[in-house]
Each structure stands twice: as structure tokens, then as C-alpha cells.
Amino acid sequence: MPFIWVTIAFVILLFLQRWTHTHLHGLSLLVTGKPDFALILYAIVLLPGVVLHELSHWLAASLLGVQTGKLSLLPRRQADGTIQLGYVEYYKGRTLGPIRESIIGGAPLITGTLVILFIGFRVFNVPEFSAALQTGEVDQLAHAVNNLFQTNDFLVWLYLLFAISNAMMPSASDRRSWPAFLLTMVVIAAITILLGLTDAVVANFAQPVTAVFSYLGIALSMSIGVDLVFMAIIALLEGIVGRIKGVSVRYHA
């Protein structure tokens, strides 16, 4: 079940992230009125998440012994019209392989998940909120919600969750080695089955793998919840600013 939910939540978050990035950039354009300034404002809003994203790539590559090059946190428009908020250069030698490259590409998702879980458990006390939600009792839920809003620097932590959630997902270039990685895993699984080691593998790894996916599911669920809140705020601001200025942003599919 945790694996199924993580798969569903991952897809949902990808769609929410696409909407958020598109309309956040559109709102920035409405506010500034100039494409270059809009790009800067859009990048500044997501800067904490972008910093964590690129540093995660750099750290993973360094720990895996992969030579790194330039690290940039400056936004730029690419030839195809998409926006790149940052990047890290690393050198693909013959020994890199799909496993190490997949780890480097997926590093922002790992570090982002850890930071989100830290904020959720240590700052917002998510277990208390979840327990109150499961009881279904209004008084306990109201008490948990009240404690949540009384968290010190509530808005700052909520903003950090938003910025990290919308920058931790692997980009298309981060995912380019994943097919080869998945094929490698399929081959390993097939060999395990042929050698009759399935029971031993399940006995030793089922519990830790389930725990990992459970925590990942919690992090993705928090990200979805935070994104829905900020999507409503972005849509509201976009409508207000557009009405005040008498203009609107037209989006192309």
C-alpha cells in the first residue's frame, strides 16, 4: 500500500508542480510587467528549494566520486522556451553507470523528503495532527489545528515547505538515466527469482523498504497539501492583480 500511494502521489505532485510553476511565473509577469523581472521574481520565490536541489546534486556526485563542474543558481531561459532555475555540471565518464547517475539525479528528492519530514515532525508535530484526524473527534482535531497555527514562525516554515516541495522533484534531465536503472533492477530481481532467493530477500528487506515508502508517502502527502493551499493563494492573487491592471496571462498547453 505505501508503494501504491507513493506512485499515485508522485504523479499528482508532478501535475501540481507544473501548474504551480506555470502560474507562479504568470503571477510574477502580472506583478512586474516585464519578462526579465518576472523571471527574477519567480526564481527568488523558489530560491530555498532551488538551493537545496542543486546542492543535493553536487553533494551526491561528490560522495560518489563523480567530478563536478560549475554550479549555478541563476535562472535562464533555454532554447526550447523552458526555464532552468539552476544546474550542476558533472562529468559522465565510462564508469559512471545508470545506478550512480540515478542516485545523483534523484538526490534532491531524497534530501527534500528528509527536510520536509523534519519540518513536519519536529516543527509542525504532524503525528499529533494525524492522530486527531484518525479519531474523527471534532474537539481533538480543533485542538490539533489550533496548535498547528500557533507554531512559532508558522508562515516561514509553511513557505519553506512550499519552496522545497516545488523544487525537489527530479527534472527531465535528472530522470534520463532512470529507464536504464529500472532495467538493471528488473535484471537483478529476475536473477534473484531464478536463484530461489526471493524469500530471503523479502524477509530481510520487506520491512525497511515498507518503512522508507511510508515516510516518503507522508512527505509527498504534506507536499500535496501545502501545494493546494498555495495554488489557491496564487490563483486568487493572479485574479486580483489581473483585475486591478486590466490584463491577464494566457497559458498555452
User: How confident is the model at residue 237, as a pLDDT?
Assistant: 94
**Do the domain assignments include residue 253?**
no
Range of the domain at 99: 2-245
Among residues 65, 111, 131, 61, the alpha carbon closest in space to that of 89 is found at: 61
**Do the domain assignments include residue 20?**
yes
- Give the chain's residues under pLDDT 70: 1, 129, 132-134, 136, 175, 177-178, 180-182, 184-185, 187-189, 192, 195-206, 209, 253
User: How confident is the model at residue 178, as a pLDDT?
Assistant: 66
Q: pTM for this structure?
A: 0.83
User: How confident is the model at residue 17, as a pLDDT?
Assistant: 92
Beta bridge partners of 71: 88
User: How confident is the model at residue 163, as a pLDDT?
Assistant: 95
Asked if residue 99 lies in contact with residue 181, where contact means CB atoms within 8 angstroms, the answer is yes
**Do the domain assignments include residue 104?**
yes
User: How confident is the model at residue 46, as a pLDDT?
Assistant: 94
User: How confident is the model at residue 200, as a pLDDT?
Assistant: 65
**Do the domain assignments include residue 250?**
no
Cα end-to-end distance, the chain, whole Å: 33
Grid cell at residue 77: 531561459
Residue 58 makes CB contacts below 8 A (sequence gap 6+) with 68, 71, 88
